[in-house]
Amino acid sequence: MLKRVLSGLLMFCLLCAPAAAAGEGEEALTSAKAAVVMEMKTGRLLYDQNGEERLPQASTTKIMTTLLALEEPDIDTYFTVDSGAVHVEGSSMGLLEGDQVSLRALCYGMILPSGNDAANVTAVRLAGSIPNFAKLMNERAKQLGLADTAFVTPSGLDADGHYTTARDLAELTRYAMGDETFREICCQYRAQTKFGNPPFERWLKNHNKLLEMYENCIGVKTGFTDNAGRVLVSAAQKDGVELVCVTMDDPDDWRDHENLYEMCFAELSGRDVSALFPKIEMPVAGGEGLALAAVVGDTTLPLRDGEYERLEVKISVPPFEYAPVRAGQQAGRAELCLGEETLLSLPLVYEDEVAALHPYRERRGVIGWFQDLFRK
């Protein structure tokens, strides 16, 4: 009983911090070498345990490989697999030489049964070779700001210089979950797809047992090698709040993910923050009247108790606008900040049109507007 009470107190103290952390000298809440929980919408870290430590990522590598495949213009065209690419150790989706497959089927094969053959075939199809594809992976990692990530293989098999961090994996997953097809694939515990010579329907089973163990789970990807240990990236949704959880080298990952989710979900609730954003009245040079601008976008924000009252709005707009102003035209941006951290950034958009002055008055109108401005 005493152990439960102490454990509960520890969780409470960690969650009251801006970003719950388990550092040197503190008791970690997981058995992992590294773990993070990130709120999906804002990218805010809710729990961080050695989240910046570079570690091998095993088959969670396939999140990036799948993302690059899904960004291709045609993922449903069938092609013959590369004979060399299908001969690879480890987990497989069952590809054989001469098989016909589509990129969509390969994505299912990478995410569900974690097929190394699917990852290699994808790499050769998109870049001609595995080394060339690794370059594409690293370029995309750089574009996404994943400064502590480097790829050597498309599958995640151990290789020198192949690493990431729990934080980078969470950021990558947050981005990937913005792709509707990726989200659709990674939430399925079993799925049917088509490949072969000729192609025929197959059932593939997901290695991610959390999809059945935890009712709020909506993905994402498992991983394991002798060097990396058990790596798990998952996502969960509850009461309109979405979280990403990453554990690296964690022998008890299923339980750790459930516990971290329950802890973090208990501390968050969705709040409508639209009332905090003011409407902006913009002077219009060469036009008659002011242009009214307001924020556009989802203004629901997952917050802890007491955070709503601490939020601050920062507005970024030019000093004036030139006529004509169109309805829907962007005026600037509004940011919602908690201390030094920006939680939400939304565009400011003009609600109505402001027409330009008549041509014979326009020159005088602009001059007069400036004269009035400087008189003030």
* Whether residue 243 sits in one domain with residue 362: no
21, β-bridge pairs: 48
* Whether residue 302 sits in one domain with residue 209: no
Residue 221 annotated as binding? yes
**Is residue 2 assigned to a domain?**
no
HSE-up (13 A, CA, CB side) for residue 354: 22
- pLDDT-derived band at 16 (thresholds 50, 70, 90) equals very low
* Whether residue 109 sits in one domain with residue 193: yes
* Whether residue 148 sits in one domain with residue 228: yes
* Whether residue 169 sits in one domain with residue 318: no
- Domain extent for 258: 15-267
Give pLDDT tens digits for 278-314: 999 999 999 988 999 999 999 999 999 999 999 999 9
pLDDT of residue 289: 87
* Whether residue 109 sits in one domain with residue 84: yes
Q: Supply the DSSP symbol for 61.
A: G
Give pLDDT tens digits for 195-222: 999 999 999 999 999 999 999 999 999 9
pLDDT of residue 19: 53
Last residue of a domain, one of 267, 283, 301: 267
Q: Is the pLDDT of residue 257 over 70?
A: yes
Last residue of a domain, one of 213, 247, 267: 267
Q: Quickly tell me which residue has 């790499």 as its tokens.
A: 123
Radius of gyration of the chain (CA): 25
- The residue count of the chain comes to 376
What are φ and ψ of residue 195, in 5° steps? Answer: -165, 165
* Whether residue 281 sits in one domain with residue 249: no
**Is residue 180 assigned to a domain?**
yes
CATH number at residue 214: 3.40.710.10
243-256 average pLDDT score:
98
Task: Give the C-alpha separation, 259 to 167, whole Å.
Answer: 19
Q: Is the pLDDT of residue 21 over 70?
A: no
CATH number at residue 319: 2.60.410.10
Q: Is the pLDDT of residue 63 over 70?
A: yes
Strand (E) or helix (H) holding 306:
none
**Is residue 10 assigned to a domain?**
no
* Whether residue 147 sits in one domain with residue 112: yes
Stated pTM of the model: 0.86
* Whether residue 318 sits in one domain with residue 236: no
170-183 average pLDDT score:
98
Q: Is the pLDDT of residue 178 over 70?
A: yes
With a CB cutoff of 8 Å and minimum separation 6, the contacts of 291 are 281, 282, 284, 321, 325, 331, 350, 352, 354
256-272 average pLDDT score:
96
Question: Active-site residues: which are they?
Answer: 59, 62, 114
Q: Is the pLDDT of residue 23 over 60?
A: no
* Whether residue 278 sits in one domain with residue 260: no
Number of domains in the chain: 2
